[in-house]
Chains A and B, each alone.
Chain A
Amino acid sequence: MTVPSDLPEIGSTAQRLRQNPRFDPIQAGIGPEDYFVWSRFDGATTLKDLIVMTGLPTPRAVDIVRRLRTAGAILLPHEQPAAAAPRPSAAPPSRPVTPPRTVTPASVTPPRTVTPSTAITTPRGQIPHIPPVIPPVIPPASPPRGAPGAPASRRTPPGGVAVQRAPTLDEMPTARVAAKDLAASPPVGEARATVPPPLPPIPDASLSADERAALDEDVDVAAADRQRILAMHRRVQSGDVAQILGLPDLADKKAAKRAYFALSKEFHPDRYYGKRLGSYAARLSRIFQAVAAAYASLSGERTPRPSTGAGAGAAAGGAPAASAQPASPADHAADLFDRACHAEVSGDLEGALRLFAAALQIEATARYLRRAARCAMTAREPGLAVEYARKAAVLEPQDPSTARVLAAAFKAAGKLDQAEEVLVMAAMIPTENDQLMRELQQDLVELRRAPGR
């Protein structure tokens, strides 16, 4: 049933009525249902909505409202509570109902008064608002609060009216400001890398047909931006991480991150949100992906490197300078392998393993792998030995000596079943080399006698 648009003695049901704070429901002796309806009056809900909201049948709710009105329990918007003695705490305080927008004319000093709430009571009885809204996460780099540049509205205006105001966008230090701050602060070396590398436009003569067309394309991209996008697009196609990020030193993680952020800010497609981009859309997307990938390849957090790669860095440290490097990768690997063997026989097992790892990084032949596996066993690294021997077995599956190394590695790792299986299998292949066969069978006998069998 619909709520009538007018009620006798009250008028329009579109009005927002409120409780009379001077009304004492205890003295008036109203019942629970009446009290419930009375408790819904909050000054913000129209009478029409309020009646619906009670969940009571409309005629009953209307009756109660009229009863409350007669008892002086509710006030129309323009009415003031009778000048009786103020009632103590029990009744909820009344609240201003004026729409916020109209309270502060544009000319009044605080730039924007969002809520005309008093400092003491907010609608839900929450803590009073205390400016400023947003506390600094770290001490701000740019104008300190209260400094001449700081907006007046951050201070509490007189009269206790709290003004909610977040920092404006132009108060926020921008990326450029941030870069300047960094440059000004030590260490100086770090700061240099934070500035994106200069991107000179592509010389007219070397423009491809594609690029030439893009420069003339009918899109919403400024001429200078076009030049930069095209130049950066070329740069990312090199695939070279240092060049893409414009970093001289790839080991400097912080600088890499800053470069990544700076380039993202310049080339992320969101920079051109809502613009007609034509062929530039794909270019920006490719640039950003290349920049993100280059950064990811450095930060390493997301892409853990396999453990076998660990030796490479160490070996590089021990390796002679670039000029002494042999011509081909295979030669280089052979060289490293020789030095590894040499280290092994001279008792430097740790150094030997590093050099083997480096050699294998370049070229992983079954021969290198077998030798490395044996060395790992001597160095009591059975896990590593198994890893190398397995790889060797993949390369030369039917080779009896590989099988022996693999079995030995399994045995060293305590995997006796697997060791036995490898030997048994290897033994069934006919071979002309009786010596090897005998050794294989000898290994098997020993294995079966081993403790734990």
Chain B
Amino acid sequence: MASEKVIGIDLGTTNSCVAIVEDGTPVVIPNRGGYKTTPSMVAIAENGKRLVGHIAKRQAITNAENTVFAAKRLIGRKWGSAAVRTSIETMPYRIVEGPHDDVRIVLRDQVFSIPEVSAYILQEMKMIAEEYLGEEVQKAVVTVPAYFNDGQRQATKDAGRVAGLDVIRIINEPTAGALAYGFGRNIERKVAVYDLGGGTFDISILEIGNGVFEVISTAGDTFLGGEDFDRRIIDWLVFNFQRDHKIDLRKDKMALQRLKDVAEKAKCELSSVRETEINLPFIISTGRNEALHLQTTLTRDKLEELTADLIDRTVEICAKTLEEAEIGKGDIEDVILVGGMTRMPRVQQAVAEFFGLEPCKGVHPDEVVALGAAIQGAALVDEKSDILLLDVTPHSLGIMIVGGYFHKLIEQNTTVPTSKSHVFTTVKDNQTSVKILVLQGESERAEENELLGEFVLTGLRRAPRGEVEIEVTFHISADGIVSVKARDLETGTEQSITVTATSGLTEDEIRKMIDANKDYMVEVRSGQEFEKARHAAERVLDEIEQLFPKVSEIISGSDFGQDAVKKARSVVERARGAIAQRDLPGLVEATEALSRTLNMFRGVVSKTRGA
């Protein structure tokens, strides 16, 4: 039985690319125009017709408000998020709030969800593959940036479903890039993947060992890419034209569209030649019924001068990423270039200078990600394949505990499949139910993380707080599906969910939820979190306050007794202060002093009574 065909799709911010492994050979599939990549653009034309890819790109400026590009920046994002705010300000198309705190786009009075828009692109890629293969394709591996959270991954999968594709696996772009380059070779090393695309910059550090690819660290800028380079060229052209003819070309949409087309073309040409002609006849007409031409020469040196700061910024981000991951430049044994912009010689040079080694560049840095996705797809369905990609969880997973804190069970970058259990306890006397809120993220505050789902475990025994024990178990399968189970350790009663989609709640809503549910929370049994520290501190504080009158009565007769009372007060104040300041180390220290005080108080009381 021949194994089923699986395509690999690089669903890029600017361009998308589809590849397949055929007879053991990974190949990129060109579209009918002969292009290997297809712009990730969707537009609705005046007559209501949907345009996808190159056609959409070629009319992007003349039909700006009805052309969606860079939808990837919005996928799986909440309405209130920073990325959405920035997009609203900078995008020519209308972005509105959706019913689930999600994002919608309005094109000619029609409202589209982001997965829908992405689905049109995926559908196009599917069609390209089907036309080429002459048969229907149902399965795909789709790539996403390494930093995408579960919500964004889920939304990408949803887009696949809308497009009629079964997305059998989502893999990280740098992993796919590295897979296409180094795959199957017997290497054990740390590599950096420098990905400069059309609208985004990503730098990832990977550990590669004979067929195992693991992302150790990743960072980037979602608003830095080739379009910024194009814009610099346009600015330069517009400025010169204005100087010579006193006409602002930006005011004319058709002129601007042509400027944009020519700027990108010139930029790409300058990657292989040292200078290029920019020739735009009849760019605009003057008021006096005569047409003006724009004709100039752009040199590579000029382009490099215009864009030097952009390249510098990518290098700065590289430096910061290495520093944060505590990896020395010398530890990086290979640098892999990904993304169309890395064809620019100056970019390659900057990367080489920074890392102190010649980067590995494919001839098609904007195609390797799709190739990697196709390789992984084939590896999954082909029994004889000898490749294995070990993927990791992109973000930590855990639950919310009392006080609105996030207790991690599975750390970021854990290799999947994996599972982890932890025992929690009740926070109230006679608490008969607990609510488990499943979260994803790195912040210690619950509301700053992504809420993945929730469920309730009921029927707990009535008992003093802290007595009933609930075991919470997380499991992530090899395909990244998260399931969570809570078990009452006394009765064995269980409750569980499989996380399928984000609820799309806002921070505010989560905060409200925290308040509304504070009596149904669980508490950690062990751990170093502030919450635990505060909880512990408060218990001790309670008891100290109770003993205070009695103790001061016993000891205040003597000098050192007065001293002790004063000291005890100051310890209590210090602890309160640390709680108010949310100062964890301070609180841990103060709690120790509190416990010592309490112990002394107890000693005083018991010994006096005994005497």
Given contacts A45-B55, A130-B363, A428-B600, contact A39 B258 (CB under 8 A): yes
> Is A135 a contact partner of B268 (Cβ separation < 8 A)?
no
> Is B51 a contact partner of A53 (Cβ separation < 8 A)?
yes
Given contacts A101-B132, A254-B188, A421-B593, contact A52 B34 (CB under 8 A): no
> Is B611 a contact partner of A430 (Cβ separation < 8 A)?
yes
Let me know if A289 is at the binding interface, CB within 8 A: yes
How far, in Å, is B537 (CB) from chain A's closest CB? Answer: 15
Nearest chain-B residue to A175 (Cβ)? B386
> Is B283 a contact partner of A39 (Cβ separation < 8 A)?
no
| B46 partner residues in chain A, CB cutoff 8 A | 1, 52, 55, 57-58
Q: How many A residues have CB within 8 A of the partner chain?
A: 110
Nearest chain-B residue to A289 (Cβ)? B418
Let me know if B596 is at the binding interface, CB within 8 A: yes
| B418 partner residues in chain A, CB cutoff 8 A | 289, 292
Let me know if B546 is at the binding interface, CB within 8 A: no
| A176 partner residues in chain B, CB cutoff 8 A | 386
In chain B, positions 399-419 with a C-beta closer than 8 Å to chain A are 411, 413, 415, 417-419
Q: How far is the CA of A40 from the CA of B258 in the complex (A)?
A: 9
Residue in B268, B388, B603 whose CB lies within 8 Å of A265: B388
Q: Tell me which of B279, B334, B415, B564 has the highest count of chain A C-beta atoms within 10 A of its own C-beta.
A: B415
> Is A425 a contact partner of B597 (Cβ separation < 8 A)?
yes
Surface stretch bound by B, among A112-120, A197-205, A235-243, A354-362: A112-120
| B33 partner residues in chain A, CB cutoff 8 A | 42, 44-45, 97, 123
| A32 partner residues in chain B, CB cutoff 8 A | 252, 254-255, 282-285, 291
> Is A164 a contact partner of B59 (Cβ separation < 8 A)?
no
Given contacts A32-B282, A273-B380, contact A289 B417 (CB under 8 A): yes
Q: How far is the CA of A393 from the CA of B603 in the complex (A)?
A: 14
Let me know if A436 is at the binding interface, CB within 8 A: no
Residue in B54, B417, B567, B599 whose CB lies within 8 Å of A421: B567
| B285 partner residues in chain A, CB cutoff 8 A | 31-32
Let me know if B197 is at the binding interface, CB within 8 A: no
> Is A292 a contact partner of B415 (Cβ separation < 8 A)?
yes
> Is B281 a contact partner of A25 (Cβ separation < 8 A)?
yes
Residue in B186, B419, B555, B608 whose CB lies within 8 Å of A289: B419
| A131 partner residues in chain B, CB cutoff 8 A | 363
A 252-285 binary contact with B (CB < 8 Å = 1; else 0): 0010011001001100111101100000000001
> Is A398 a contact partner of B564 (Cβ separation < 8 A)?
no
Surface stretch bound by B, among A7-15, A166-174, A331-339, A377-385: A166-174
| A49 partner residues in chain B, CB cutoff 8 A | 49, 51, 55
Residue in B24, B186, B284, B593 whose CB lies within 8 Å of A178: B186
Let me know if B271 is at the binding interface, CB within 8 A: yes
| A430 partner residues in chain B, CB cutoff 8 A | 604, 607-608, 611
> Is A274 a contact partner of B58 (Cβ separation < 8 A)?
no
Let me know if B45 is at the binding interface, CB within 8 A: yes
> Is A268 a contact partner of B388 (Cβ separation < 8 A)?
yes
Q: How many B residues have CB within 8 A of the partner chain?
A: 116
Let me know if A140 is at the binding interface, CB within 8 A: yes
Let me know if B164 is at the binding interface, CB within 8 A: no
Q: How far is the CA of A117 from the CA of B30 in the complex (A)?
A: 11
Let me know if B80 is at the binding interface, CB within 8 A: no
A 173-198 binary contact with B (CB < 8 Å = 1; else 0): 11111100110000000000000000
In chain B, positions 561-611 with a C-beta closer than 8 Å to chain A are 561, 563-564, 567-568, 570-571, 592-593, 595-597, 599-600, 602-604, 607-608, 611
> Is A134 a contact partner of B596 (Cβ separation < 8 A)?
no
> Is B184 a contact partner of A264 (Cβ separation < 8 A)?
no
Q: How far is the CA of A130 from the CA of B563 in the complex (A)?
A: 84
Let me know if B212 is at the binding interface, CB within 8 A: yes
Given contacts A126-B271, A269-B417, A289-B418, contact A418 B593 (CB under 8 A): yes
Nearest chain-B residue to A44 (Cβ)? B33
| A401 partner residues in chain B, CB cutoff 8 A | none
Surface stretch bound by B, among A65-73, A88-96, A308-316, A364-372: A88-96
> Is B35 a contact partner of A137 (Cβ separation < 8 A)?
no
Let me know if A157 is at the binding interface, CB within 8 A: no
> Is B24 a contact partner of A397 (Cβ separation < 8 A)?
no
> Is A137 a contact partner of B182 (Cβ separation < 8 A)?
yes
> Is B268 a contact partner of A138 (Cβ separation < 8 A)?
no
B 484-501 binary contact with A (CB < 8 Å = 1; else 0): 000000000000000000
Nearest chain-A residue to B139 (Cβ)? A274
Given contacts A1-B47, A137-B187, contact A112 B25 (CB under 8 A): yes
Q: Tell me which of A50, A96, A288, A430 has the highest count of chain B C-beta atoms within 10 A of its own C-beta.
A: A430
Nearest chain-A residue to B22 (Cβ)? A112
> Is B272 a contact partner of A425 (Cβ separation < 8 A)?
no
Let me know if A426 is at the binding interface, CB within 8 A: yes
| B596 partner residues in chain A, CB cutoff 8 A | 393, 397, 421-422, 425
Let me know if B439 is at the binding interface, CB within 8 A: no
> Is B268 a contact partner of A124 (Cβ separation < 8 A)?
yes
> Is B560 a contact partner of A424 (Cβ separation < 8 A)?
yes
> Is A137 a contact partner of B334 (Cβ separation < 8 A)?
yes
A 130-145 binary contact with B (CB < 8 Å = 1; else 0): 1101111110110000
How far, in Å, is B259 (CB) from chain A's closest CB? Answer: 11
Q: How far is the CA of A261 from the CA of B208 in the complex (A)?
A: 11
Let me know if B306 is at the binding interface, CB within 8 A: no
| B253 partner residues in chain A, CB cutoff 8 A | 55
Q: How far is the CA of A175 from the CA of B564 in the complex (A)?
A: 70
Residue in B183, B279, B362 whose CB lies within 8 Å of A133: B362
> Is A257 a contact partner of B188 (Cβ separation < 8 A)?
yes
Let me know if A390 is at the binding interface, CB within 8 A: yes
Q: How far is the CA of A420 from the CA of B371 in the complex (A)?
A: 68
Given contacts A49-B51, A273-B381, A418-B593, contact A166 B27 (CB under 8 A): yes
Nearest chain-B residue to A398 (Cβ)? B603
B 85-113 binary contact with A (CB < 8 Å = 1; else 0): 00000000000000000000000000000
> Is B24 a contact partner of A425 (Cβ separation < 8 A)?
no
How far, in Å, is A231 (CB) from chain B's closest CB? Answer: 20
Q: How far is the CA of A31 from the CA of B534 in the complex (A)?
A: 75
How far, in Å, is B290 (CB) from chain A's closest CB? Answer: 10
> Is B604 a contact partner of A141 (Cβ separation < 8 A)?
no
How far, in Å, is A33 (CB) from chain B's closest CB? Answer: 7
Let me know if A300 is at the binding interface, CB within 8 A: no
Q: How far is the CA of A258 from the CA of B23 in the complex (A)?
A: 29
| A140 partner residues in chain B, CB cutoff 8 A | 185
Let me know if B463 is at the binding interface, CB within 8 A: no
> Is A124 a contact partner of B595 (Cβ separation < 8 A)?
no
> Is A397 a contact partner of B185 (Cβ separation < 8 A)?
no
> Is B378 a contact partner of A169 (Cβ separation < 8 A)?
yes
| B607 partner residues in chain A, CB cutoff 8 A | 429-431
Q: How far is the CA of A177 from the CA of B592 in the complex (A)?
A: 59
> Is B360 a contact partner of A135 (Cβ separation < 8 A)?
yes
Given contacts A32-B254, A33-B254, A265-B388, contact A39 B261 (CB under 8 A): yes
Q: How far is the CA of A217 from the CA of B421 in the complex (A)?
A: 29
| B611 partner residues in chain A, CB cutoff 8 A | 430
Nearest chain-A residue to B570 (Cβ)? A421
A 11-40 binary contact with B (CB < 8 Å = 1; else 0): 000000000000001100011111110011
B 550-565 binary contact with A (CB < 8 Å = 1; else 0): 0100010000110110
> Is A114 a contact partner of B254 (Cβ separation < 8 A)?
no
Given contacts A1-B47, A175-B386, A261-B209, contact A429 B282 (CB under 8 A): no
Q: Could you list some 23 contacts between A and B, CB below 8 A?
A: A1-B47, A31-B291, A36-B254, A44-B54, A45-B58, A89-B279, A90-B279, A111-B25, A112-B25, A114-B28, A124-B35, A124-B265, A126-B268, A135-B361, A166-B371, A182-B186, A261-B209, A270-B478, A273-B381, A285-B419, A424-B567, A428-B560, A429-B604
**Further 10 A-B residue pairs, CB within 8 A, beyond A99-B32, A164-B28, A269-B417:** A32-B291, A36-B257, A40-B58, A97-B33, A133-B363, A167-B25, A169-B378, A274-B381, A418-B593, A421-B567
Top 3 closest pairs, chain A to chain B, by CB: A172-B184, A397-B599, A55-B62
